[in-house]
Amino acid sequence: MGTDPIIARQVERRRPPMQGEGKSVAPNYPPLVGAKARGRPPHPDVLTPAEWSVLDMYRHGLSRRSIAQRRGTSEYAVRYHLRNITDKLGVTGVRELRSWPGFPATSPMTASARRARRFSSMESTVTLGPLAQVSMLCRSSRATEAWYRDVLRLPHIFTFGDLVFFDMHGTRLYFREVPDDQFQKGSILYFRVDDMAAALSALEGRGVSFQGAPHMIYKDDETGIEEWFAFFDDPDGNTLALLARVGGSQVD
């Protein structure tokens, strides 16, 4: 005797569903080992090394074109870096970067700035050191290097692009090549200080107004020594500068 089809359909509707029946079950694959997210990993500092390099050149007063030439890249790439830096630091415009006070997290200047803030209430005993560097312009870095080396026989320290450095018994003579329409006679006096942050704070307390924030202009990859500059004017408008050599193994 067969089963009544109507009763069979009612029983089927009342039967609880079996596990997995009527559902889409995703296969339980093991997780991928060593899987990494796409894109460049986040940098631990507020800026990347490339952005710090562009920022320091810009704070030094170089144009976008000059920065591009020194970095061997396009002016568009420099403009892109400056816009990213502006966004990351939260300043209102690129021009404000000239005076933005900040150092890489790995730079010895960061610890120096912390010390300066910690002892800002104490009377400063900072004094200017001996004259460290004299800056002059030249029309040809190659001709200038040859003449000062071979004619005056000054010890040649190094040449970096269109920058030439000589030693004058402990005081450096620095030449920078410029076009004819930018050439002018003159020099900038660089005073060496042991603690840039402390010297900056002390001179500002005496009424000195700096042209911009301290910035690194050169780093020796072999010794790890960083060179930081901060510029200001005397009452007649002559440009003076503080120079600090920090970090690494220094040999005077």
What is the average pLDDT across 237-250?
83
Cβ neighbours for 16, distance < 8 A, ≥ 6 positions apart: none
- pLDDT of 32: 44
205, exposed or middle or buried, with CB in 10 Å at 0-12, 13-18, 19+? exposed
Distance CA 195, CA 205 (A): 16
135 - beta bridge partners? 174, 188
Among candidate residues 187, 162, 165, 183, the one with its CA nearest the CA of residue 174: 165
- When pLDDT is averaged across residues 29-58 and rounded to a whole number, the result is 70
- For 51, the 3-state DSSP assignment is helix
Whether residue 9 is predicted with pLDDT greater than 60 in this model: the reply is: no
Q: Provide the pLDDT for residue 186.
A: 76
Residue type (1 letter), 249: S
pLDDT at residue 111, rounded to an integer: 74
Place of tokens 């079950």: 25
- Is 7 a residue whose pLDDT tops 80? no
- State the DSSP code for 151: T
The topology under which CATH files domain 131-246 is 2,3-Dihydroxybiphenyl 1,2-Dioxygenase; domain 1 (3.10.180)
pLDDT class of 128 with cuts at 50, 70, 90: confident
Could you say which of 3.30.70.980, 1.10.10.10, 3.40.50.720, 1.10.1040.10 is the CATH number of the domain covering 49-100? Answer: 1.10.10.10
What is the reported pLDDT for 243? 93
34 against 44, higher pLDDT: 44
The mean per-residue pLDDT over the stretch 220-241 comes to: 88
200: tokens are 């900056």
Q: Letter for the amino acid at 90?
A: G
Predicted pLDDT of residue 108: 83
Q: Residue written as tokens 């018994």?
A: 169
Strand order in the sheet with 188-192: 156-160, 163-168, 171-177, 131-138, 188-192, 239-246, 226-233, 215-219
User: pLDDT, tens digit, for every residue of 166-196?
Assistant: 998 899 999 989 898 988 877 788 889 989 9
Q: How far is CA 41 from CA 14, 36, 37, 154, 174, in A?
A: 56, 10, 8, 47, 39
Report residue 45's pLDDT band, with 50, 70 and 90 as the boundaries.
confident
What confidence score (pLDDT) does residue 238 get? 81
CA 37 from chain center: how many Å? 27
Give the model's confidence band at 3: pLDDT under 50 very low, under 70 low, under 90 confident, else very high.
low
Look at residue 12 in the predicted model and tell me its pLDDT: 55
The one-letter amino acid code at 108 reads P
Compare 216 and 13 and report the one with higher pLDDT. Answer: 216
pLDDT surpassing 70 at residue 100: yes
Give the start-to-end residue ranges of the domains of the chain: 49-100, 131-246
Alpha helices, DSSP H only, in 20-73?
A: 49-59, 64-71
Give yes or no for a contact between 199 and 233, defined as CB atoms under 8 angstroms apart: no
